[in-house]
Amino acid sequence: MKIYFTFLLVLISIACWSQTDTLASARHTTYERHSTMATASLGFVDFYRQYYTLPKAFSKTNTAGFVPVYLKLEYGLWKNISLAATMSYDAFTYNFKQGYIGNNGPFTRYRSDNARIISGGVTAFYHLGRFVSVRHLDPFVGVGISINNIRYSAYPQGDSTLTKYDHTVTPYLKAGARYYISSRFSLFGDVGYDQQSVFSIGASCRFFGRRKM
């Protein structure tokens, strides 16, 4: 997963730098209406892993997997408001053990639950450049919803496990910023709540924009 994400960031970077880019102008590079922004980022402090619960018959061993991956395609709809389609993918293996009493005495069974969460949603962002005037910085706040498709391969329930599917709708409430290192390419970070992670960091590329640095 890390290799795929690195490859994706490289593709975004190449696409950004292949477009016309000028460093001569002294104008601030912030949010721009009618531009399109593609963002890829990694999430940290995973809610699904932190709040995974086990019945009394089970005990935790370790958790393996990768951090959540976020993709976002955003369009500058109005002067300070953009609209984005968001997608995230999270997958991990939760390992645990269960004690039994057999004919020959107590023994332990080790089990693994492969969890997979795919989320998609729509978010509106308000860009705060008129209130926070910092060169090359595009601060924003976002409000939206996410639809989550969750699958557990061996979810512990009672004294056994089962394959479990769940579908949830969660709010998307985040604040963050982009810092443009060129007129097209920017570093990205946000923090907040979407039931996937507490914060994420990554990179963005702006397409079809006219602003130059």
Residue 28 has pLDDT above 70, yes or no: no
Q: What is the pLDDT of residues 114-160, one digit of tens each?
A: 999 999 999 999 999 888 888 899 999 999 999 999 999 988 887 78
| 157-194 CB burial, b ≥16 within 10 A, e <16 | eeeebeeeeeeeebebebebbbbbebbbbbebebebeb
Q: What average pLDDT does the segment 179-194 reach?
A: 94
CB 206 within 8 A of CB 178: no
Q: Where are the domains of the chain?
A: 2-207
Residues in the chain: 213
For the chain, how are helix, strand and coil distributed in percent, rounded to 5?
10, 65, 25
Topology of domain 2-207, CATH? Porin (2.40.160)
Task: Look up residue 31 and give its DSSP letter.
Answer: -
Q: Which of 10-14, 27-31, 32-36 comes out lowest in average pLDDT? A: 10-14
Q: What is the pTM of this model?
A: 0.79
Q: Regarding predicted confidence, which is higher, 188 or 63?
A: 188
pLDDT value for 212? 57
